[in-house]
Structure 1
Amino acid sequence: MPDDEFAALVQEEADGSPPRVFALVEEYGQREDCEIFAWGLEFGKRAAVFDLDGTLFARCASADGAHALFSRIRNVRLAWPSAAAPQPRG
């Protein structure tokens, strides 16, 4: 396969299934302040959660699963950066 055709195939593969970025945002007080606790990547039926320094915290079934897990130990909310927000299906 010529290099340009293979490059197009590689790009198609990457474009076909990009992960979605999410954040777990820790709330302080009663909605007084907040900051990013961890970042995550959701890949279809799995998700990976990373500390702010890039250390892997956990692997979960989904972003919702990560939220449920970390909500046990922190007051966190699941947030989707605007560019990564889930699109309506239809």
Structure 2
Amino acid sequence: MQGRNHLFSSGYPALPPLGTREEFMTAMREMVEDNAPRVFALCEELGDRHDAVLHYWGMAHDDHADLIGLGGSLHIGFRDAATARDRLALRRNLHLVWPHQPPTPT
């Protein structure tokens, strides 16, 4: 199995199947798990912990991060999740939040 974004073309050479259907599906699932991005969010703190607003969802890959604004208002790439927060936090008190991890100060 090759890494992400490997697309087969119609001219792909005829090769024998890679194992049984179950073995192939297991290998494909492992490839996806190995290449899955980590999900994060950028949330704005309102006041001094009075409320919060979720503004962006992101996906962190090994070499970059993709960010999507709620409602599709923004789709942009950054070097990493922290850079996305830093660039967009110029006028807002944004926090980088990683779901399913213990909270850490940002």
Under TM normalisation by the shorter chain, which class is it? 0.7 to 0.9
Gaps of 5+ in 2: 1-16
1:71 paired with 2:71, answer no
Normalised by the length of structure 1, the TM-score is 0.80
- What is the CA–CA distance in structure 2 between the aligned matches of 1:73 and 1:58, rounded to whole Å? 18
Q: CA deviation at 1:56?
A: 4.1
1:22 is aligned to 40
Residues 55, 10 of structure 1: CA spacing in aligned structure 2 closer, same or farther, 3 A cutoff? Answer: farther
Per-residue CA deviation, residues 28-73 of structure 1 (Å, 9 max, x unaligned), is: 1122111111110001120011111245432001111111111113
Q: Which has the larger radius of gyration?
A: 2
Aligned-CA RMSD value: 1.8
Normalised by the length of structure 2, the TM-score is 0.69
- Residues 27 and 34, structure 1, Cα contact 8 Å, conserved in 2: yes
More helix by share: 1
**Amino acid corresponding to residue 43 of structure 1 in structure 2:** H
User: What is the aligned counterpart of 1:35 among 53, 56, 59?
Assistant: 53
More strand by share: 1
Aligned pair count reads 84
> Which has the bigger relative contact order, CA under 8 A and spacing at least 6?
1
User: What is the aligned counterpart of 1:62 among 46, 69, 80?
Assistant: 80
Gaps of 5+ in 1: none
Counting aligned pairs with the same residue, the percent is: 33
**Amino acid corresponding to residue 50 of structure 2 in structure 1:** E
